[in-house]
Chain A
Amino acid sequence: MSDSGVASIFLQNLPVMVVAIPLLLAAIVAVVPVPRLAWMLALAGIGGSFLAAILLQSITQSVGRVTYHLGNWEPPWGIEFVVDSATSLTLVVMSGLAFLATLFARGSLLAEINHKDLGKCYAAWLLACGGLFGLVGTGDAFNLFVFLEISALSSVILISMGAGTDRRALSAGFNYLIIGAVGATFYVIGVGFLYAITGTLNIVDLAARISDIGGGAALYAGFGFIIAGIMVKAAIFPVHIWLPAAYGYAPSAVSSLLAAIATKAALYVLARMLFTLFEGVPAITEIALNYVIIPLSLAGIFVGTIMAIYEKDIKILLAQSSVAQIGYISLGFGLASAAGVSASFIHIANHALIKGGLFMAVGSFVAALGSRANMNSFVGIGRRMPITAAAFMVCGLSLAGLPLTAGFISKLYLIRAILSVDAYLIAALVLLSSALSLIYLWKIVEVMWMQPAPAKSPQLVENPAIYLPLWIVALGNIWFGVDASWLVSASRAAAAALIGGGL
C-alpha cells in the first residue's frame, strides 16, 4: 500500500485511530522478544494516537463535533464514537502525557521491573492507554464498560509489575482489581436499569429518551449505580482507598502514566454522565452535585492533603495529594456552571502535567538510588542530583499553585468559578487546603535541599534518557503557567460542549 493510502485511511478514521492503534499494537508487542523494539513500537503507537488526537482537536474547533460509526452501522444500533470539544481536549492531554510517560518509561522500567517482563510490560502499557482513550471516545454505554475493564485489568498488571522491587505492589494490584471490578459492575447494573426503561445503549439516544421519561424508581436506581461506579474509578473520596497503594507501589513510570491519564479519563466520564447522559433530569443531577459531589470533593481535598502531610514515603505522599487534586477537579464539576466545568478541564490538563512530572522525578531518583524514595533516602538529594531535583521543584511549585506555573492558572480559574456562584465558604476552604499543601511540599524541600547529604554517600548518575522527558513536562508546567490562552480557550469550548453557555 502506498504512503498516501495509509495516510488517507488514517485521516478518514481519526476518531477510531486514537483507540485502535494502541490496542492493535498491543497484540504485536506482546510477542516481540526484544524489549527495546517493544518500547519503540509502543512509543510509535502512542505517538500515532497523539497525532490523531491533535488533528481531532483542530477539527472539533471548527466543526464542533465528529462522529464515527464502527463498521458503518447506523446508531443507535451500531457502536458510535463521538468526539466533541470536551472529548478532543481530554484525548490530547491524555495521549500527550502518555507519550511523554512512554518516552520516560524505557530508562525507568529498566531499573524497576524484572528484565524478563520488560517486553510484555509494554503490551499491558499499550492496552491500558488504548482502553483509557476508548473510555473517553466511545459514545455507547456498554462499550464504555468494556473499555473500563480493558484499562482496569491492564492497569492491575502494570501496578503488579512493581513486585520486581517491592512485594507490596502485588497486594496493591489485587486491591485495585477487586475494588475496580466492583465499581465497574455497579456501572453495568446502572446501565441495565437504563436499558430496561429505554431499550437503547447509545449515550445520545439514551439521553433523549431519559429526558422523555423524566423520572421513576428505575431511572433513579440506574443513576445512582452509574455515578457510584464511576466515582470508584475516578478515586473520589471515600472510594479512593485503592489509589494511594496502587500509585505508591507501582513502578514509577506506571505511576506517572496512571496519575496523568487514568483518573482523568474516569473524571471525564463522570462529567459526561452528569451533564450529557442525565441532562434531561436536572432535579436528580442537582441533588447529586450539591449533596454528594461537592461535599465529598471537599472532604477528599482535606483528607488527601492531611494524609500527605503525615506520609514519609514520597510516592505514597504524591498519591495522597492526587486524592486532593481529584477533589479540586470534581469540585469544579459540582458547581455545574460553565466556569466551574472549564476550571475542571484546565485542572485535568495541569494536574496531568504536575503529577506526571512529579512521579517521573521520583522515578529518576529511584533509578539512581536503587531504593524506595522516602524521607531518609531523600536527605541531601538536591545536591547529589541537581538536574532532576530542579525539575521536581518546578513541578512541586506548580502543585502548590505558585504564580507563573500551571498550577496557579488552575487555582485562579477554580476560585473565580467558585466566587461567581457566591460560595465564599468553599472558596475559603480551597485556599486553606492550598496553604496546607505547602506543608508537605516544604517537608520534602527541607529534606532535599536544606540537609547535607550523609557522608560516604556514593556518587549518583543522572541519565539524560530519564531526565529529558522529565524536563519537557517541567517546562510544560512553566509554559502553561505563562501562556495559558490555548488551554483556557480549549477548556471553555469543552465546557460549552458539555453544559452549553459561555463564561
Chain B
Amino acid sequence: MLMQLASIWNYLIVILLMMMGLFIVISHENLVKKLVGLSIFQTSVFLFYITLGRVSGGTAPILTDAPDTVYSNPLPHVLILTAIVVGVATIALGLALILRINEAFGSIEEDEILAAKNQSAAADMMPSKPGADS
C-alpha cells in the first residue's frame, strides 16, 4: 500500500496543489490571495507535465554513444517553460490591475469593491448628474 502510494507520490502532490489553488481562487475575497491561489493552481500543472516527462531509469536527454541508453522525455519540460512564461505574464498583469483597483476603489477586498460598485451603479441611474462616476 505504502509502496504504491510512493510510486504515484508526484501525482498526489499535483492533485493536492491543484485543489488547494482552485479553492483559494474561489474562496478568498482578497484579490492578491486570489492571484496567489491561481499561481499555485498553475504550478500544479507544471509539476504534472514534468512528472509525465520522467521515464523510469532514464537519463538527461543528451545524446550519448551507448546504444541502449534510456532518455527522459524533454518535450514536457519545453512546454512547461512556455507555460511558466505565460504564468508570469498573467501574475504580472494581475498585480498591475490590483494596483489600479486599489487606487480607484481604495480597497483590494472583493466585498468592499462590490459595495463601491453598487454605489456607482446607483449614481449611473441618477438623472440629474450623468457621468457622476469616478
* B60 contacts partner chain A, Cβ-Cβ < 8 Å: no
Tell me whether A171 and B131 are in contact in the complex, defined as CB-CB below 8 angstroms, given that A177-B93, A192-B49, A192-B52 are known contacts.
Answer: no
CB-CB under 8 A from B49, the residues of chain A are 192
* A451 contacts partner chain B, Cβ-Cβ < 8 Å: no
Do A374 and B124 touch across chains, with their CB atoms under 8 A apart?
A: yes
B73 nearest in chain A by CB position: A199
Do B127 and A167 touch across chains, with their CB atoms under 8 A apart?
A: no
Report the stretch among A182-190, A251-259, A428-436 that lies at the interface. A182-190
Specify which of A156, A168, A182, A312 is in contact with B120 (CB 8 Å cutoff): A168
Do A153 and B100 touch across chains, with their CB atoms under 8 A apart?
A: no
Tell me whether A174 and B31 are in contact in the complex, defined as CB-CB below 8 angstroms, given that A146-B82, A181-B90, A188-B83 are known contacts.
Answer: yes
Kindly state the separation between the CA atoms of A157 and B96 in the bound complex, as whole angstroms: 10
CB-CB under 8 A from B45, the residues of chain A are 185, 188-189, 192
* A10 contacts partner chain B, Cβ-Cβ < 8 Å: no
Specify which of B93, B98, B113 is in contact with A157 (CB 8 Å cutoff): B93
Do A149 and B34 touch across chains, with their CB atoms under 8 A apart?
A: no
Kindly state the separation between the CA atoms of A375 and B124 in the bound complex, as whole angstroms: 10
**Most chain A Cβ neighbours within 10 Å, of B52, B93, B104:** B93
Do A171 and B93 touch across chains, with their CB atoms under 8 A apart?
A: no
B132 nearest in chain A by CB position: A371
Do A173 and B97 touch across chains, with their CB atoms under 8 A apart?
A: yes
Do A182 and B101 touch across chains, with their CB atoms under 8 A apart?
A: no
Kindly state the separation between the CA atoms of A376 and B41 in the bound complex, as whole angstroms: 44
Specify which of B25, B31, B100 is in contact with A160 (CB 8 Å cutoff): B100
Do A182 and B97 touch across chains, with their CB atoms under 8 A apart?
A: no
A142 nearest in chain B by CB position: B79
* B70 contacts partner chain A, Cβ-Cβ < 8 Å: no
Do A181 and B125 touch across chains, with their CB atoms under 8 A apart?
A: no
Tell me whether A165 and B134 are in contact in the complex, defined as CB-CB below 8 angstroms, given that A177-B90, A178-B25, A185-B42 are known contacts.
Answer: yes
Tell me whether A156 and B97 are in contact in the complex, defined as CB-CB below 8 angstroms, given that A182-B41, A185-B41, A374-B125 are known contacts.
Answer: yes
CB-CB under 8 A from A487, the residues of chain B are none
* B20 contacts partner chain A, Cβ-Cβ < 8 Å: no
* A210 contacts partner chain B, Cβ-Cβ < 8 Å: no
Specify which of A146, A189, A372 is in contact with B124 (CB 8 Å cutoff): A372
CB-CB under 8 A from B90, the residues of chain A are 149, 153, 177, 181
Tell me whether A168 and B98 are in contact in the complex, defined as CB-CB below 8 angstroms, given that A149-B89, A182-B22 are known contacts.
Answer: no
Do B42 and A178 touch across chains, with their CB atoms under 8 A apart?
A: no
B123 nearest in chain A by CB position: A372
Measured between C-beta atoms, what is the minimum distance from B122 to chain A in Å?
11
* A196 contacts partner chain B, Cβ-Cβ < 8 Å: yes
Kindly state the separation between the CA atoms of A153 and B86 in the bound complex, as whole angstroms: 9
Do B93 and A168 touch across chains, with their CB atoms under 8 A apart?
A: no
B102 nearest in chain A by CB position: A170
Kindly state the separation between the CA atoms of A185 and B86 in the bound complex, as whole angstroms: 11
Kindly state the separation between the CA atoms of A181 and B86 in the bound complex, as whole angstroms: 10
Interface string of B94-120 (1 = CB under 8 A from A): 100110110011000000010001001
Q: 18 A-B residue contacts at CB 8 Å?
A: A142-B82, A149-B90, A153-B89, A160-B100, A165-B131, A167-B133, A168-B133, A170-B104, A174-B98, A174-B101, A178-B35, A178-B94, A185-B41, A185-B45, A188-B45, A313-B124, A369-B130, A376-B125
